[in-house]
Amino acid sequence: MASSYEALRERLRTINNINKAGAVLAWDQQTYMPPGGVHDRGAQLATLAQLSHGMFTGDDFGELLDLAEDEVKDLAYESDEASIVRVTRRDFEKQRKLSADLVGRLRRHATESRNVWVKARQDDDFPAFAPFLQQTVDLSRETADAYGYEDRPYDALVDVTEPGMTTADLEEIFGTLREQQVPLIKEIVSRPQVDDSVLHQPYDEAKQEAFGKLVVGRLGYDFNRGRLDRTVHPFEIALSIDDVRLTTRYDPNFLSMSLFGTMHESGHGMYEQGMGRELAGTGLARGGSAGLHESQSRLWENIVGRSLRFWKAFYPELQRTFPDQVGNVPLETFHKAINKVHPSFIRVEADEMTYNMHIMLRFELENDFLEGRLEVRDAPEAWRARMDEYLGVVPPNDREGVLQDTHWSTMLGGFAGYCLGNVFGAQFWEKAIADRSGIPDEIEQGEFGSLLEWLQQNIYRHGRKYQPKELVQRVTGKPISTQPYIRYLKAKFSEIYGPL
């Protein structure tokens, strides 16, 4: 490669090092930082963000990018060089569109509004939060205008986390899911209910932690290049390809919280640990989109981790670890318990079947806000109406309704990936077992090497090289489709609730 491309790579390495230093500070803030550190940590993070943003959006960076673009113009679309320049160009143009003034106002709003939201939720006081939600709507519209869009304001926002996806794409996906899932949920709710009391017993936290580590280590998460810590709000964070950390939380009286939470984060973690080294030090060496990332956490947590065949391998070990709790509980009872469907108010506690409905509700209200069909003051009522329509339950207060998520204290447009992840995950899974028919049997033996290698080769190593639509087409040979997910849901929950 000629010199401008190499110079660009070098500049990106520097920027990436600054961003990753910021990630170390963010990880520390949420795990070990003492309370007193919070003020200065904010200043340290702001300095790093400003340095990185300044280096990435400067005119000199733009000139370097022009030169590098010229150098790689004859290379194949799939080549590392062309991809790095192409995706960097996209990021550059996007970041340049937000003025320093807007970025500053967004940051101040986030800080102030988040504090108000925490208290309003505590107090179940929507009117206290309403002016800040209004500002979130206004700032989201302004941000969408700054990015620019052809059709719908939401297009501009979702493009940040799901490059190339549009509001129309999402409406089609969510429309099909709604049409299929609402009747399925109604049918399941009408059938005899699953007893999941086995999960609600005292479970020693240290043993939960040891078992969780055992499981995710066996899945293929590499502890030599990562670690697992405790935090209030679990997350995964990559401090480099070779230092990808997970966090989780433990409920001493409920097994699922940490067990499936840890598997979920390990899916994110294996994705980040699987980045191609040729992308290291660029903005491409991370998950391709929020939805693609979520496809991996959901695949490992739900498709693998809540399957009967998975527990055929791991249930004996769980019984040895918790003999008093599950020693005499049949595998089938346990498997049903971890797959109980129960329409409820809180998104983050929702089961696999009802989860998507929480997302489409939010997606719809966000578009209504942005396009002026819904006033902030009417949001609680709109929320309740949608909950009733989709899930047949109505939250008794706003704390368990419109106030439950932190997202709306800062920006609209952040939910779609959670639902897309389910769709992408099932589509990838169907292709993986079509390509490698031995995978299900291997899982039953507690072996995950074939699946992980398939994911690594087809998805993980590409990082952000391809946009979600491109990647799904390349991997599965088909456009994004909800059908594999619907097929998966029907088959899976027919096992639990009888033929659907």
Interface ranges with a second copy (CB under 8 A): 13-14, 17-18, 20-22, 24-25, 28, 32-37, 39-41, 43-44, 46-48, 51, 222-227, 229, 239-243, 245
The answer to whether 331 and 312 are in contact (CB under 8 A) is yes
Q: Which is nearer to a second copy, 39 or 73 (CB)?
A: 39
The answer to whether 266 and 246 are in contact (CB under 8 A) is yes
Which amino acid, 24?
V
Q: Which is nearer to a second copy, 28 or 172 (CB)?
A: 28
Interhelix angle 3-31/59-72, rounded to 10 degrees, is 120
Which amino acid, 362?
R
Closest CB 98 distance from a second copy, rounded Å: 21
Q: Which is nearer to a second copy, 45 or 160 (CB)?
A: 45
**Cα(116)–Cα(158) distance, rounded to whole angstroms?**
25
Closest CA to 20 of 56, 45, 43, 39: 45
Q: Which is nearer to a second copy, 18 or 412 (CB)?
A: 18
Closest CB 456 distance from a second copy, rounded Å: 16
Which of 265, 272, 294, 301 is flagged as catalytic?
Answer: 265
Q: Rounded to the nearest 5°, which phi and psi values hold at 240?
A: 175, 170
Q: Which is nearer to a second copy, 22 or 401 (CB)?
A: 22
| Sequence-distant (≥ 6) Cβ neighbours of residue 419 within 8 angstroms | 173, 174, 177, 291, 355, 356, 359, 360, 363
Enter the tokens of residue 428.
């990838």
Enter the tokens of residue 48.
């790093």
453 is catalytic: no
Alpha-carbon distances of 267 from 72, 240, 294, 379, rounded to whole Å:
34, 16, 8, 34
Enter the tokens of residue 251.
């409920």
Q: Which is nearer to a second copy, 77 or 223 (CB)?
A: 223
Interhelix angle 153-161/416-435, rounded to 10 degrees, is 50
Which residues does the annotation mark as catalytic?
265
